[in-house]
Structure formats: structure tokens, C-alpha cells
Structure 1
Amino acid sequence: MDSSGTVDDDCDETTNLIIDDYLDVDGDTSLSSLSTRVVDNSDLIESHEIAKAMLDTLKKQMEDVQVARDDERQKAIIQLNSAEKRTTELEDKLAETIQRTEHLNAELERLKKKEEKTKEIANNVQTIKYTKIEKHIFYDFLVTKHGRILDYLQRTKKLDDFFIDKIPKLIFEEKRNTYILTLIGIRVHHQAFKQVLLRILNLSNIKQRTIDFYQRHLNRITKSINKKLFEVQPNTNYWKQYI
């Protein structure tokens, strides 16, 4: 009974250890534990292609609107020249044509402003690679939360629907038993992702230290039990009656 009591005492002593003692709040959980770099211009092919696709689409839309507007203007000229005198019907047709022309002018102006804004965003699209991401961080956090991370980045700045599925964009690549994460986006996307990554590193650090704490806790209990078992002296008198 004394031996069992000693084991319980040892267990209580271990249980009273505070887990925070094993969580280094001042530990290195900064982004410096990763290697990050802005890729060179020679590596920015995908970013440039995205920007070009955006502007090409807008240019095509503007050309279509301009053609439609010019057609309406031509209709108005033909209508004016087709009759020697104005009639109510002709005036109604002219009014409709002018209204459509004004609408197309407004649409063209809207597209021009959109083009300017798109150029501004496209010129600020940046590709940053985050290298040496450990496997456990990649699988425990980045893969399982990929959709939610991307959704969060998209909500950091409201962009035109045209940018959906284009930026921000996350690409994963395995290299030498670690992972490389490439983020294509504008400045706010990169700032937001760095904060997300910092939280992930902190959480991963806490998770690992918690596992280590309980492992040490279990090792102490196991060691204490083994020690007490070796201290128990067997009573050979019980075996003599069988000899």
C-alpha cells in the first residue's frame, strides 16, 4: 500500500505542473522561420498573363460598345436624312436612337474607368514565394483550410467580379521534403496572408509544445511506476508450498 501511495504522490506532483511553463511565449514563431522572397521579373510570367487577360477582356468589351454606339449614331444620321420633314414617328425613333447612344456612351465611360482601375490593380499584382514550409504545417493547416484562407483573402478587398478565380491565387509545390507556397495577389492580399501564416506558425508551435508536455508527463508517470515495481520485494514463502 505504501508503494502505491508513493506512485500517487508522484503522479500528483506531475499533474501540478503548469502547461504554460512548457509554452515559450517568447519563442521564435515569426515569419523568419520561413524563407520568403519576391520572385524576379523573369518568374512573373503568370502574373503578367493574368494582367494581360484582364486588360484584353476589357479592351474587347470597350470595342464592342464603341461599335454599337457608332451604329446607333449612323442610324440617327440615316433617319435624319431619310425624310424631308419630321414626323412624330421619326422623332420617336430619333429619341430612342439618341437614348441608346447616350446609354452606350455611359457604358463606354464606365468601362474606361474600369480599365484604369484594372490597370492599377494589374500593375500591382505581385508574386511571392514562401519556401521551406514543413510538412506538418502544410497538411495540418494549409491544405485543410485552403478554401477558408482563400475566402478570407478575397474578402480583404472587394474587387471586380472579373478578378474572381484570378487573384488572389494560392499554388502549392513540394520540394526536398518541404513545401513551397506561391501567392499571387495585390499588396493587401500579401499583408493578410502573412498575418494568417503567423497565426498558423504560432498555433503549430503551441500544438507541438503541448504534445511534448504531455509526452514528458506520461514519461514521468511511466518511469515512476517502473521504479516502484522494481522496489517491490517478492515474498518467496508463498512459493515454498509448491516445491
Structure 2
Amino acid sequence: MENKTITSVNNPLIKKLYKLRDNKKQQLSDGIILVEGKNNIDEARKLNLVEFLLTTNEIDNNKDIRVTENVIKKLSSLKNPDTTIAVVKLPVYESKKYKRVIFLEGIQDPGNLGTIIRSAVAFNFDAIYLSKNSSYLYNQKVISSSQGAIFMIPIFQMDLLKAIDLYDYNVISTHLSEESEFIDKTNFPESFAIAFGNEGTGISSELLSRSKSNVSIKISNIDSLNVAIAASIAMFEISKK
């Protein structure tokens, strides 16, 4: 039997998904999000997280749903949406101590957060801990800028001090001080958490007080770097060791 095509944005399913799209509370309650972009959908598929697709393309199964272009435009958060949107289950990861960890405190720009996640995967880090005052992890801009990496590494949005208490992480903070050592000269232990803070305010005094040491990146002519660039450089330097 031929699958029916949803043509109306007032369809009950479409109305429900539209309400879900930007509703953090609803997403966390239902355990699902909408995902756009081929790379993001492909990575979610590899982990069997895709519940079904909404697409203007032909479909060859009873799970996915064919819709018209106006429905895709209604559900999409992009100016120029693709032909397909996936309904994706939120990943669940094992809560344990990981070896090479990123701590992110107060990273509020979703584009920066997505870029850092992508770099963490590229440079073989094992997990990311994201503070509660950072951008919402499943913001569409975070997902988009991560290019699928958001589904490739365990990420926990929680109190960073609690993570230290739970797993006794050896925290090394990126913070310029008299005691800071340039990161390319630093010997990192086998297990550690490297912390990056908000561009404007840096790492909080509370987290610095729990850090074992501080490191910085050697730069010239300017005072600071964008946090995503700084984090990527730091991760690259660590990956060489």
C-alpha cells in the first residue's frame, strides 16, 4: 500500500513536532529532537538514534514519512532547508570516569560549542562535560556546527565541580597567570580534564581553585583568541604528545 503524503502544517504530528523543535523542556522530557543536515543525520543513524525521517524524497519503507516542501519549511530552523528532517532519540551515555576529558564552563555561543565538540572528536578526546550555564547542548546551531560530532562523543551537561567530586578528575585549566605553563611545553598525565571558560569572564574562581595546574597558548600581537579556536589549538597540541 502506498504511503500517504503529509501536505498540511496543521497535521497533528507536524504541530507536535513544531512545538518540540525549540522547546528544551519538551525535548528532554520526550527524549527526542529534530535534526537537519546530512552529516548529522548520518552519524545519528550509525548509532541507531533515528526514529524516522520526514522527507520530500521518495521513500521505500513504512517507517519514514513523505511530506511536502511547505511542511519541511515549517519544521526547519534553517533559512534554506534540506529535503529531510530526522526525528532523533537523545543519546544516553555511561556515567563513569573517562581518561581524556574536556570541561567547558560558560560557553554560551552555540557555534563555538559545536566547533569545540567537533575538534574534541577530531583529536580523540573521550568525553565532554558542559556546565549548566553554557548553551543548551541540543540547540540547532550547536548540532549544525558540530557536523555530526555531537553524536560521536559522550557529552554530559552538569555541574563541573560535581563531576570532579564524582570522578576525581585531574583538572588542568586554560588560564593565564604567573604560574601558567605554555601548553606545548606541558606534560599531561594519562588521565586529565582540560578546562576552557567563557571568553569574557574566563574560568570561574571556583573551578580554578579545584585545578591542579594552569596552561596557556603562546600568541603574539593580540590579547586573546576565540574560545573555539583556542580550544582546538590546545587539543591539537595535546594530541601530539
TM-score by length of 2: 0.21
Which structure is higher in strand share?
A: 2
Which structure is higher in helix share?
A: 1
TM-score by length of 1: 0.21
